[in-house]
Amino acid sequence: MSGTKRTVSIVNRAIGDGEPCYFLAEVGGNYDSVEDVHRIVDACIRVEIEAVKFQTFEADTITTKDNVFDLDTTGNIPQYELFKKYEPRKELQRELLRYADKKGITAFSSPGHLHDLEFLEQLDVPAYKIGSDVACHIPLLREVARTEKPIVLSTGMATLEEIRVSVEEVLKLNHRLLLLHCVSDYPTHAEHVNLRTMLTLKKEFGLPVGFSDHTIGPEIALAAVALGANAIERHFWVRGNQQGPDAELCSDEQEYSWLLRATRRIENSLGTREKVLSPQETKNKMANRVSIVSLKDIEAGETITPEVVDIRRPGSGIEPRHWEAVIRSRASRAIRAGQPLQWEDIEGARGKTAP
């Protein structure tokens, strides 16, 4: 599958090549009260993050009771126990959406089960995130696609063939699809990130592709931006809030703000593939490049030798590549010391241009 790069819009914000990188703040289990919810939304607005992304799951439907986590961030612990501890209360999810809408910022969630999708449809979320854990859950993908809302699909733990199957199933029903390259390890170590996979996904599917970041620190996200990520999802925690199990890899407000500012600077620096001089380079070119200049006064008719000329700044004279054409020629007129040579100064220069 390949084709023209598409864009996808989430609440009228176009995402794709040629558009600014879209930022999602994954808030996970980092809230447990109305005050926490308000702090998250307010902080996202201050930082200029474009979307608050939360999670919708119930311990009873997301895992069996015998399944175990074995991650750096959690240690060895029954998954049911951890999910039960951080199970998001429905009234807080409602409040997050209500408050985000009031404040004018996008908020949406990732359902972990078909029952969660039913709840989120009641809330009329504007988009859906599909986590890597359910990226191959074809029945869920089909139902989410049928909502005709934008879908952000993480691809952690999935082979290219598995991603292809999921993408094809979604595109049968819904073309509003954004892929996220993801490594499902918490935290992800830099040597395992394999950011160039984003380029493979773009080429393979012709869809906008971003990066779901589980590394510690903002540097890898910036590298993803430089490689052309259309979106960045990064975990976010606000001072004063409950800390979830992802605390180690969360950015706080200060770090996320730095990441946003650095991203916009990088985007402004990327330019196009065309090699062009900047306006300042054009201005600097004459003074800061080199050309053939006289070392002494040269009389009309005098033979120009290496003893009377050299290659030095400024660059307003004959270019150094014409050195052999200038040496042993005769001066057509007097040339003063320190003057950049012009073709008009050389006898026999045809049309007074470079030979």
Structural domains in the chain?
A: 8-270 (3.20.20.70), 279-352 (3.90.1210.10)
pLDDT at 351: 44
Instruction: State whether the Cα torsion 122-126-131-135 is positive or negative.
Output: positive
Q: Retrieve residue 346's tokens.
A: 């050389």
pLDDT at 73: 66
pLDDT at 72: 62
Residues in the chain predicted with pLDDT less than 50, given as ranges, are 1-4, 351-352, 354-355
Condensed to tens digits (0 to 9), the pLDDT of residues 124-160 reads: 999 999 999 999 999 999 999 999 999 999 999 999 9
Q: Are 156 and 183 in contact (CB under 8 A)?
A: yes
End-to-end CA distance of the chain: 52
Counting Cα atoms < 13 Å in the Cβ hemisphere of 220 gives 25
Tell me the longest C-alpha to C-alpha distance in the chain.
Answer: 99
Q: What is the pTM of this model?
A: 0.87
pLDDT at 71: 64
